[in-house]
Amino acid sequence: MFLHIERGSSTPVSRQIAEQIAALCAAGSLKAGDRLPSVRQLAQELTVNQNTVLRVYERLAADGLLDMRHGEGTFVAGNASRRRFEKQRRQFIDELGLVLRRGLMLGIAPEEVRQLCDEALEANAELAPTASDREGG
């Protein structure tokens, strides 16, 4: 599991870790049943306080993304479905709003912004779920 922490970022370290783990799950790099590094291990790897890592694991477990089994370790939850990413989804929408706002403030016309969005979507077409992947829309 490869995570990158940006120090001094305005995004708190805990959120950076949580988002990246959620993203790895969403992208399928982490699959149901995969074992995550122990709190100690990940804390040392990232040079981050152990309590921070523990809180991230606990929060993701409460969101249903991870499964913390006492004495065994932390695993990706078996039923981590798309619905579990509601929080990440909302965050993405917020961030997208900020990015669009910046573009408009730079004087980029709304039509051009739309076109840029389409181009970006096109470039990442292979990531887009097909209709059958979606759970009831």
Q: Nearest approach, Cβ of 12 to another protein (angstroms)? A: 4
Q: Which of residues 60 and 80 has its CB atom nearest to another protein in the complex? A: 60
Q: Nearest approach, Cβ of 11 to another protein (angstroms)? A: 7
Q: What is the DSSP string of 13-52?
A: HHHHHHHHHHHHHHTTSS-TTPBPPPHHHHHHHHT--HHH
The single residue listed with the structure tokens 């910046």 is 102
Q: Which of residues 27 and 105 has its CB atom nearest to another protein in the complex? A: 105
Binding site for another protein (CB under 8 A): 5, 7-14, 40, 43-44, 46-52, 55
Joined tokens for residue 130:
């097909």
What SS3 class is residue 72?
coil
Q: Which of residues 27 and 98 has its CB atom nearest to another protein in the complex? A: 98
